[in-house]
Amino acid sequence: MPAPIRPDEAGAAPCDPAHVPVHVGIIMDGNGRWATARRLPRVEGHRRGVEALRRCVRAARELGIRYLTIYSFSSENWTRPHHEIAELMGLLKLFVRRDLAELRAANVRIRVIGARAGLGKDIAALLDEAEALTAANTGLTLVVAFNYGARQEITAAAASIAADVAQGLLKPEDVDEDLLSSRLETAGIPDPDLIIRTSGEQRLSNFLLWQAAYAEFVFLPLFWPDFDKDALRGALEEYARRDRRFGGVMPCPAP
């Protein structure tokens, strides 16, 4: 009997186009555990997480990524202790205030997805300002998922379509994947090619559920505050080794 072929052998080059992903999503996880392992308060992990985010955005630009979506605060993170939520809100404000000028000068376009309702007025205004001041930029698009939950996003899209159908603006047969995609907050942004999650957890935690239908996943065994350009490069190398089939078959060279 011939030796079984392992999946990684079956999918190896020459069918492998080693491309940089257009859109990378990152679930920045493990701040609390990074801090706890050092006997520091969890909030110290969040502070160091902001530094990792800065490194990450710089590295994404240098490596030629076009869209970077960072999961910063989930709809479910409101269940955390009040002081931790306050710290996370404060850090977002600090990040926008301190980094907006540099991001703007670096031709980064900022988009924010997630519910604005429920956020403080000052944060909502800062996010609006960050989007407005960078709207004409043409380099990396940095999508900040803040107070974001994919189920909530899909539910809102479905409700807006239902309202249009009820008013006679749309017919039920007009509802297709493109229409639903166009009602999501990510309208106009290509689906993520690669989703990275740090901290070793292997789940989506309500991140881009619709958009990630054919994303590749890389789970890194490091906590977010330790993330750097080498970690991003390693994830891109892993991505380049993957065969993306989208339900089809790989075109193989003639024997």
Q: Which of 23, 24, 31, 57 is the binder for ligand IPE (CB under 6 A)?
A: 31
Q: Smallest gap, in angstroms, from Cβ of residue 93 to ligand IPE?
A: 14
What is the separation, in whole angstroms, between the first and last Cα of the chain?
A: 22
The least distance separating Mg ion from the CB of residue 51, rounded to whole angstroms, comes to 18
Q: How many residues bind Mg ion (CB under 5 A)?
A: 1
Q: Show contacts with ligand IPE in window 69-128 (CB under 6 A).
A: 71-74, 77, 88
Taking a C-beta distance cutoff of 8 angstroms, is the pair 28, 199 a contact? no
Please report whether residue 44 would count as binding Mg ion according to CB under 5 A.
no
Which one among 21, 32, 149, 192 touches ligand IPE, defined by CB under 6 A?
A: 32
- How far, in Å, CA of 67 to CA of 101, rounded? 19
Q: Which among 29, 31, 147, 193 is annotated as catalytic? A: 29
E strand map for 48-161: 67-74, 109-113, 141-148
Residue 38, SS3 per DSSP: coil
Instruction: Look at phi and psi of residue 198 and say left if phi exceeds 0, alpha if psi is from -120 to 50, else beta.
Output: beta
Handedness of CA 14, 20, 26, 32 (dihedral sign): positive
Nearer to ligand IPE, 11 or 41 (CB): 41
Tell me how far, at minimum, the Cβ of 70 lies from ligand IPE, in Å: 8
- Contacting residues toward ligand IPE, per CB under 6 A: 27-33, 71-74, 77, 88, 199, 201, 203, 205, 224
